[in-house]
Amino acid sequence: MNDQKFAVWAPDAHAVQLQLGPDRLDLAARDDGWWELPESARPAVAGEPTVDVDYGFIVDGRGPFADPRSRRQPAGVHALSRTFDASAHIWHDEGFTGRQLAGTVIYELHLGTFTPEGTLEAAAGRLDHLQSIGVDFVELLPVNAFNGTHNWGYDGVLWYAVHEGYGGPAAYQDFVDACHQHGIGVIQDVVYNHLGPSGNYLPQFGPYLSEAAGNTWGSSLNLDGPHSDPVRRYILDNALMWLGDYHVDGLRLDAVHALRDASATHLLEQLAVEVSALSAETGRPRTLIAESDLNDPRLVTPREANGYGLDAQWSDDFHHAVHVALTGETTGYYADFEPLDALAKVLTHGFFHDGTYSSFRERTHGRRIDLERMPTWRLVVASQNHDQIGNRAVGDRLSSQLDSGQLAIAAALTLLGPYTPMLFMGEEWGASTPWQFFTSHPEPELGTATATGRISEFARMGWDPDQVPDPQDEQTFERSKLDWSEAVEPAHARLLGFYRELAVLRRAQPDFTDPRFDQIAVEFDAAAGWLRLHRGGTKILINLGAQSTQIPAGRGDILVSFATSGEAVQGRLPNALLLAPHSVVVLA
C-alpha cells in the first residue's frame, strides 16, 4: 500500500504523529487543519505495494487512535486501522447498467441474521432465492465498524470500515459484484445522525459533534457550526465511497429528521447534488432514500422546485394502516389508524398524517403530497421492516399473530399497491423466527444501560416490560436468525409460492407500476370487512373479516388469489364475488 497518504483532519491539535508498526512519525500541519506526512518521510513508509499495514494517529500525546476514515479494523474499533486498496478489486459487473427505483422491489436484510453463518459470502449464496421473488434491490442494514461482535448496525463508529465479522471490505466488494451479476442492485443503509457509544474517537481529532444539538441516540453531528465544512465533507465522502469504490447503487439515509442543519444548503441537498454528478459520470443510476419521521414531501421534491432532490422516502403511515387493519392493535402510535378509512387514505394520498392531528405526538403532523406532480414510487413502504418488528417488545413478526390469508393480504397490499415495496427478510415464507433487538457491548455498564433503556421505550406502547428479552444475551441474537428450513414446509412454501406469483404479476401487469395517483381508487365496507383497491383497470379485492363476504367485483378474470382455507372465491354472483375469510383476489 505505497499510495497511502496517512493524512488526518485535526484542526485544534498542536502535534499529530503517525503510529506505523513500532515507529512514530511526525506529521506536518497544513493551513486547512489537515496533517500529513512530509515529503521527506514518504519514501520511508512506502514498503511493498501489496502489503497492508496497521497504523493509527497520536493527537497531542493521546492515542494511538484509529483513522477516522479507516477502511479496515481487523482487531476492533479500539485498535489500529489497517490499509485497504479498494481499487485492487477486479469487477465483473460491466454488464450491469444499474436500476432506477421506479417499478422495483426492495428486500431489506441484516447480514448477521440472514444466514446461519452471518457473512457476506453466505448472503451471496441466497441471491437465486431473491431473484425468484422478484427482488430488484437488496438493502443491507448498516455494515460499518462497531464495538462488539453483533448488533443491528446502528452503533457504528467508523463509517468507512466494513465490519470484520461480515467479511470486511473485500468480501463486501465480492457481494456487490455477485448481486450485480444476478441483476440485483444494492442499497446500503447509512447512519449520519449519530455515532455509537463505544469507540467513537472523532472528538479526539476535531469538532465532529455539535455542541448545541443532540438527538434520541446521542450527540448530533456538527453540520452548521464552526469547522463544520470538513465534517460535512466527512459525510459526503463516505456516501461517495459506497457509491464509487464499492459500486453500491443507492443509500438509505437513517432518520434524516435527526440531522440538525440550518445551513442555506442542507446537507441532504448537497448530497443529492454530488450523487447526481457521480451518476452522470459513471452512467449508472444512484438512488437516495430517506427514512424520515416528518411526513414532509419536500425531501423528495426536485431541487428546481425548492426541494432537497432525494429520490424517495419511507412512509411509516402505510405500515401502521396495514398493521392495524390486520391485527386490530390500536395502542401508542397505532391509535390514529384504527378506522379502515385510514388505510384507504394512505393508499390514495401517500400519508395519513398530512397536516392532521397526531394523538401520539399531541400535535399537527405532516404535509400534503402534491398528487398531480409526485409519482407514487417516491414512497417506499413495507408491512414489516427491521424497526417495526425489532422495536416491538419481543420482536414478533406478523406471522406470530396472523394466519396465512392475512399474511397474503399484507403481501398483496405491499407488492401490488401504488408505492415502492420493501420486504423484510423471511416475510416471504411467513418466517416464525422473531427479530429482536440485540447488542454485544463488551462494556458491562453499556450493556446494563441498553437493557434498562430498552424497557423504558415501551411504556407508551402498552407492552409488558417483563417480556422484553435482554439485548446482551447471546440467545437473543441467535433466536433472530432465519430458519431457512421453514421455507420448504408446506404452509410456508404455499405462502412463498404466492409471493412468487405476485412477483410475476407485478412485472406482467402495467397497472401495478403506474406511477400516477389519479389511477388509484379505493372502496370499502368497514362493517362487512372488505376493501377494493383499483390500480387502473386492475382490482385487488380483500376480505379482512373472519366471515365470508360478498364484494362488488364487476367484470374481469382472476389473475391470482389466496385464502387461509385454500380457495379464496367461494362463488360468483352477477358483478360480485363471494370471498372466503381472510382472502385476497386480483381481477383484470
316 is in an annotated binding site: yes
389 is in an annotated binding site: yes
Please tell me the distance from the alpha carbon of residue 2 to that of residue 74, in angstroms, as a whole number: 20
365 is in an annotated binding site: no
318 is in an annotated binding site: yes
Beta-strand (E) ranges in 406-545?
420-424, 520-525, 530-535, 538-543
249 is in an annotated binding site: no
253 is in an annotated binding site: yes
577 is in an annotated binding site: no
Please tell me the distance from the alpha carbon of residue 290 to that of residue 483, in angstroms, as a whole number: 30
257 is in an annotated binding site: yes
Please tell me the distance from the alpha carbon of residue 458 to that of residue 296, in angstroms, as a whole number: 26
352 is in an annotated binding site: no
What end-to-end distance do the CA atoms of the chain give, in Å?
61
C-alpha cell at 315: 412512509
**Alpha carbon of 523 to those of 242, 520, 541, 551, 557: distances in Å?**
44, 10, 10, 10, 20
Please tell me the distance from the alpha carbon of residue 348 to that of residue 421, in angstroms, as a whole number: 15
Single-letter residue type at 204: Q
Of 136, 155, 269, 291, the catalytic one is: 291
14 is in an annotated binding site: no
317 is in an annotated binding site: yes
437 is in an annotated binding site: no
Please tell me the distance from the alpha carbon of residue 533 to that of residue 519, in angstroms, as a whole number: 10
Cβ contacts of 385-389, under 8 Å, gap ≥ 24: 385/108, 385/319, 385/422, 385/424, 386/108, 386/110, 386/141, 386/152, 386/424, 386/435, 388/316, 388/319, 388/323, 389/424, 389/434, 389/435
Largest CA distance in the chain: 89
Residue 557 bears catalytic tag: no
Hey, CA dihedral for 388, 349, 259, 290, is it positive or negative?
positive
Which one, of 90, 84, 5, lies nearest residue 39 by Cα? 5
Three-state SS sequence of 199-223? CCCHHHHCCCEEEEEEECCEEEECC
Please tell me the distance from the alpha carbon of residue 220 to that of residue 235, in angstroms, as a whole number: 13
424 is in an annotated binding site: no
Of 136, 177, 254, 311, the catalytic one is: 254
Beta-strand (E) ranges in 4-122?
8-9, 16-20, 23-26, 28-29, 34-36, 54-59, 62-65, 81-82, 106-109
441 is in an annotated binding site: no
Q: Is 566 left (phi over 0), alpha (psi -120 to 50) or beta?
A: left
Partners of 108 in beta bridges: 139, 424
Which one, of 77, 70, 159, lies nearest residue 443 by Cα? 77
388 is in an annotated binding site: yes
Residue 254 bears catalytic tag: yes
- Beta strand pairing call for 312-314 and 379-381: parallel
| Known binding positions for substrate | 252-257, 316-320, 386-391
List, by residue number, the catalytic residues. Answer: 254, 291
